[in-house]
Structures are given as C-alpha cells and as structure tokens.
C-alpha cells in the first residue's frame, strides 16, 4: 500500500460548492492511485483561495510543501485531482523542484501517474495546464467585467455593494437570472432614504450657498445629526462615528449617483507584485481609483435623484475651482521629510498626528476638534502641538540603551519570551488533544480488528484517523518552525540593530523613518501629562515571508519620559519592559 497525500483547491468567488469540488477532485485522485495500491492518508485542501496565489502562500498548500522536508511526514507521494486547480501560469516550474528535491512523486491524472522529471513531455503538459489555468481565469475576468459594464450602462442595474448615504435598497422583483431567482434572489435598486436623503440635499444646498466643508460638518454635528458611520454602523466599523468630518462631506458632494444615474467602475482591483525582488511570491490585489474617463454611466436615470444634474455640475465646478478636477485622487506628497511620520499618535483621540513646519522647526499636531467639530463633546485641546526635536534626542538615547552591551542579555531574553502568543498556544493544545484522541482510536481499531472485525471497513477508519493525526502533527510542526528563533539567531540580530542606532542622528530622515517603522515604534503623546509613551516591537523576520504569513517575533519596551520642557533636575526616568 502506497500512502498518498491529496492536494486540492477551490475558489468560492464564483459560488462553487467547496464540498462538491473536494469530492470530485478526491474521486478523480482515487481513480488514479487505487488501482496501483495507493490510499489517501492526508488531505491538503484550500478553500476560497485564488489559483493566482502561489502554493507557498495558500495555507494548506504551504503546509504540504513544508511537510515534504519532514522524513516522518506519513505519506510517500502526492496526488492532484486537477492540475489547473493547483498550478497557475509558471507555478509548476517554481514548485515541482521541491518534490523532486525531496524525492516525493507528484501524481496527476493527465500523465496517468507520477510526473517524470526527466520526461520533457510531462513538463510540457504541466506547463500547458498552467497556461490554460491562467487563460481561463483571464477569460472569466473579461466576461464578468464586460457583462457588468453592459448591465450598468444599458440596464442601469444596481450591481451590489452598500448603498450610498442618502439611499437604501428597494425590491424590484425576482432576479432576471432564472437560476438565481429560483434560489430566492431579488433584484434591487436605490431609493431615497426618508431620514438621510434630506441631509444629502441640505449638504449640496449649503455648499452652493457659500458654506465650506468644515462649516457644513460642524453644523450637522452641532445639531446632533448622525454621520454616515454612526447612522449605519455596518458601513465603517473601524470609524468612531462621533461626528461629521470634512472628508464625509466631500465624498457626498463628489458622488454622481445622487443624480439618479448608476455609475460603475469608479474603482478597480489591481494586482501588484508582492515582492519585486522575488516574483515567485506572486501578486496581491489592491483597490485603485480609476480616472473619471473610465467610469461607466447608465444611459438614463434609473433611480430617484436627490439632486438634479445641474446642481451636481455646479458643485463640481466649485470643488475644482483651484484648477484641479474634483474627482482627481493622487497620492499626497509632502515637501518636507518627517522622521516620525505615521508613528506618533495623539493621546487624547488616538489619531495619528500630522507633520507641520512652524517657526523653522518640525512639529506634529492634532486638530481633531476643529476638523470634526467635537470641541463641546470631548476634552481635547483646540490644537495639540509637539516639537520633533524634543522627542528624537530622548528616543535615540533610549534605543541605544536597550541595545547596549550591559542590557544585551535582558533584551535577548525579552525577544525570546515574546515568541509565544495565545493563539499559538490554543492551536498547540488542540493539536495535541487531536493526536491523543487519534492514538486512542487507533488502539481501539486494532483491538476490533484482532477480534475479527471487517478488515476493509476498519482499514478505512484507520486511514481516516491517520490522516487526521497527520494534519494535527503538521500544524504542530508549522508552529514549531515559526518559533525556532534560537538565542544564537537573536544574538546575531541585536548587534545589527545596535549598529543602526549608532548612526541615527546623521541618517537621512526618510531612512530614519523606515528604520523606526521596521523596529515597530509606536509613540503616543499625552498633552496633559507632557509625556510620550513609546513601544518598540522590532521584527525578527522579513515582513512578508514566502508562505504569505507575517511570522514575527516581537519585543515591546515601554518607556515614559517627561516632555523636555517639563524636565526637572535630578529626576530619573524609568525603563519598563513588557509585552
């Protein structure tokens, strides 16, 4: 009997049934290996993972590839039910060498058995299926985008997503697709929300009559009118919803769907290389804004407008009065470098403080109450200011101290202790319980077999139990490999960090910010105490590993020091370590 591991994948983007997909891939695999004495003892099946993601970044596939190097892996070969599911583009060429290196045969139905690394025909077949897989995905994307464009432009159909503030979804009958209609799906369209639609109309009217974004936001907040994220908490759960912001007002004024027309393709999904130095890691998908020329408008008004087209166009002209199109979205650029950009937070509202150049010096400020009209709701100074040079000197001194030779042992111990986390402990305990349970069941099965039980049925039970045990052991090994940072490795890291801290003062501001970011610095300025609280969590691994997970070991050092202007002679600072 040859023990096999089954390797499969299913994507649920096009409403595939994971259970059915797994079953037919398993059936195809068994039909290939069982006549030759093969039995599947382990499964590695990824759900809801696109084929464009390399196997090293799919959770189950990554575990399988890690298991190849394990001499006690429990299987001698791997079978794939359908190569298009496992390999995309040139992924086969980047992956098969691992199987060949560790001597694990890879079986696929298309070659009728194991792939022969010396057989050029086998390699050509697998590369061809990778190209077919890529072409199939591209054709699907093209068909979907073309169909959605036609539906938006010709039919004016609402294509999903949450309705904009001021609208709600109304039912207009069964879905035009018979299959979806049979499943109970309904066609939707936008209709004015009786509560929020008048607020949208008011915002347009006030802006046309000379009120600015700040003034409109303050007026709505002052009257107690809930902002979009407060009115519908499902919209932006990460936002506080305390008050209106100028960005919310601007987003409403820029939204053309208030004119009654459907607008699609304002954003697109763009694939970008995860690591330009290693293209085998594949791509990640990011949302990008499309220029207005690429937006798709419905040919006619398809839902009740809240503002007329003339009013909307007048607003756009006012918004673009500074010479730039109102809908143009470009990355913000700063003419001055800020060393603590993105790292310093306000201790009152927890928002990031923005860089500001004032009186020839770099400052960081928080204008939370001015922007969000909350001066009467929280105790927040009108503007919180702190000078950069009053932080950097103390910060760099502290960083040099924690990497100094006399603190080296303590720093190393903190790093090693930080490897463990609660999530890993939960997984470890669950995996150990699974291994113990499988051992008990295997003992019972052997007893039943010795007592004259059906060998075929008991053999199937034992194979399933071995597969379950193997999966649990794989989880344990994966966690242990993530926690294999030894004291020697940490000792090698610390001197490198210490060397970098020695040149902080003369470093370029952008490089200095990058170093602080890699060290995981998080600074909070508390204006009432004139204190800056800093946490440093230097990463022990590269920020993105080939397996697609962030394998980091963190160290957290907490220090509180008084703002330099409140320092008193003879006062000593405490260095507090914690996780």
Same domain, 310 and 352: no
Tell me, yes or no, whether 289 lies in a domain. no
Domain count for the chain? 4
Mean pLDDT for the stretch of residues 538-560: 39
Predicted pLDDT of residue 201: 95
Task: Kindly state whether residue 389 falls inside one of the protein's structural domains.
Answer: yes
Based on the fold, state whether residues 308 and 382 are members of the same structural domain.
Answer: no
Q: What is the mean pLDDT of the chain?
A: 79
Predicted confidence (pLDDT) per residue in 353-409, tens digit: 999 888 888 899 988 766 565 545 667 787 888 999 888 888 887 777 776 667 766
Place of tokens 């499988």: 438
Quick one: 186 and 306 in the same domain? yes
Residue the block writes with tokens 């907040």: 221
Q: What is the pLDDT of residues 513-548, one digit of tens each?
A: 887 887 778 899 998 888 899 887 665 433 333 333
Give yes or no for residue 346 having a pLDDT over 80: yes
Q: Is the same domain home to 505 and 541?
A: yes
Q: Which domain holds residue 517?
A: 344-414+490-577
Residue 500: inside a domain: yes
Residue 502 has pLDDT above 70, yes or no: no
CATH number of the domain to which 217 belongs: 3.90.1750.20
Task: For residue 360, tell me if it sits in a domain.
Answer: yes
Whether residue 172 sits in one domain with residue 118: no
**Residue 99 and residue 233 in one domain:** no
Whether 338 is covered by a domain: the verdict is: no
Q: DSSP letter for 151, please.
A: I
Classify each residue of 163-186 as buried b or exposed e, where b means 16 or more C-beta atoms within 10 Å of its C-beta.
Answer: bbbbbeebeeeebeeeeeeeeeee
User: Using 50, 70 and 90 to split pLDDT, how confident is the model at 422?
Assistant: low
Assess whether 548 and 494 both reside in one domain.
Answer: yes
Q: Any idea what the CATH number is for the domain that residue 134 is in?
A: 3.40.50.1390
Q: What is the pLDDT of residue 405?
A: 66
Residues 23 and 125 in one domain: yes
Q: How far apart are CA 186 and CA 175, in angstroms?
A: 5
Residues 212 and 309 in one domain: yes
Boundary residue ending a domain (122, 139, 156): 139
Least trusted range by pLDDT, from 14-18, 394-398, 422-426, 550-554: 550-554
The domain boundary, picked from 450, 482, 514, lies at 482
- Per the listing, tokens 């030779």 go with 405
Establish if 206 belongs to a structural domain: yes
DSSP label at 486? -
Q: pLDDT digit string (tens) for 186-214?
A: 888 899 999 999 999 999 999 999 898 98
Would you say residue 345 has pLDDT above 60? Answer: yes
Q: For residue 124, how many other CB atoms are within 10 A of its CB? A: 10
536 φψ region: left (φ > 0), alpha (ψ -120 to 50), beta (else): beta
Q: Rounded to two decimals, what is the model's pTM?
A: 0.60
Strand 384-387 and strand 361-366: the pairing is antiparallel
Q: Do residues 200 and 311 lie in contact, with contact meaning Cβ atoms separated by under 8 Å?
A: no
Per-residue model confidence (pLDDT) at position 13: 57
SS3 content of the chain, % helix, strand, coil (to 5): 45, 15, 35
Same domain, 461 and 515: no
């Amino acid at each position: 009997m040859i023990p096999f591991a089954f390797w499969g994948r299913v994507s649920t983007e096009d409403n595939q049934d994971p259970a059915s997909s797994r079953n037919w891939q398993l059936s195809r695999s068994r039909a290939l290996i069982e006549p030759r004495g093969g039995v599947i003892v382990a499964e590695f099946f990824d759900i809801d993972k696109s084929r464009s993601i390399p196997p090293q970044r799919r959770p189950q596939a990554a575990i399988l590839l890690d298991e190849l190097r394990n001499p006690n892996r429990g299987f001698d070969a791997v079978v794939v039910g359908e190569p298009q599911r496992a390999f995309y583009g040139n992924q086969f060429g980047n992956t098969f060498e691992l199987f060949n290196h560790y001597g694990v045969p890879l079986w696929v139905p298309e070659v009728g058995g194991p792939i022969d690394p010396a057989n050029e025909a086998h390699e050509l077949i697998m590369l061809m299926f990778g190209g077919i897989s890529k072409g199939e995905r591209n054709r699907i994307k093209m068909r979907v985008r073309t169909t959605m464009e036609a539906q938006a432009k010709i039919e004016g159909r609402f294509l999903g997503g949450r309705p904009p503030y001021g609208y709600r979804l109304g039912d207009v009958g069964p879905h035009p697709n018979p299959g979806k209609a049979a499943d109970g799906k309904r066609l939707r369209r936008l209709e004015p929300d009786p509560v929020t639609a008048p607020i949208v109309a008011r915002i347009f009217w006030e802006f046309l009559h000379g009120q600015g974004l700040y003034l409109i936001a303050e007026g709505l907040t002052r009257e107690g009118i809930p902002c979009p994220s407060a009115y519908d908490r499902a919209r932006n759960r990460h936002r506080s919803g305390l008050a209106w912001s100028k960005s919310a007002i601007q987003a409403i004024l820029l939204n053309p769907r208030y004119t009654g027309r459907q607008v699609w393709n304002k954003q697109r999904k763009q694939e970008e290389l995860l690591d330009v130095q290693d293209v085998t890691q594949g791509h990640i998908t990011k949302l990008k804004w499309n220029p207005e020329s690429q937006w798709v408008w419905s040919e006619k008004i398809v839902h009740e407008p809240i503002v007329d087209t003339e009013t909307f166009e007048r607003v756009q002209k006012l918004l673009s009065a500074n010479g730039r199109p109102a809908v143009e979205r470009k990355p913000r650029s700063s003419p001055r470098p800020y060393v603590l950009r993105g790292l310093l937070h306000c201790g009152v509202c927890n928002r990031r403080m923005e860089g500001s150049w004032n009186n020839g010096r770099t400052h960081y400020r928080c204008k939370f109450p001015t922007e969000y009209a909350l001066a009467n709701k929280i105790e927040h100074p009108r503007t919180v200011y702190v000078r950069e040079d009053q932080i950097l000197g103390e910060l760099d001194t502290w960083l040099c101290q924690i990497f100094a030779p006399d603190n080296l042992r303590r720093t190393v111990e903190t790093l090693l202790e930080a490897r463990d986390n609660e999530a890993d402990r939960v997984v470890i305990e669950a995996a150990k319980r699974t291994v113990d349970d499988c051992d008990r069941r295997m003992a019972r099965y052997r007893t039943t077999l010795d007592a004259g039980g059906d060998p075929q049925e008991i053999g199937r039970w034992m194979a399933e139990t071995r597969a379950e045990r193997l999966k649990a052991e794989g989880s344990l090994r994966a966690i242990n490999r993530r926690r294999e940072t030894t004291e020697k490795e940490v000792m090698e890291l610390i001197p490198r960090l210490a060397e970098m801290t020695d040149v902080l003062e003369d470093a370029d501001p952008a490089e200095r910010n990058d170093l602080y970011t890699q060290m995981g610095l998080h600074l909070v300025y508390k204006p009432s105490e004139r204190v800056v609280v800093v946490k440093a969590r230097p990463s022990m691994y590269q920020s993105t590993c080939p397996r697609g997970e962030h394998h980091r070991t963190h160290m957290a050092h907490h220090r509180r020091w008084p703002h330099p202007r409140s320092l008193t002679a003879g006062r000593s600072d405490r260095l507090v370590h914690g996780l």
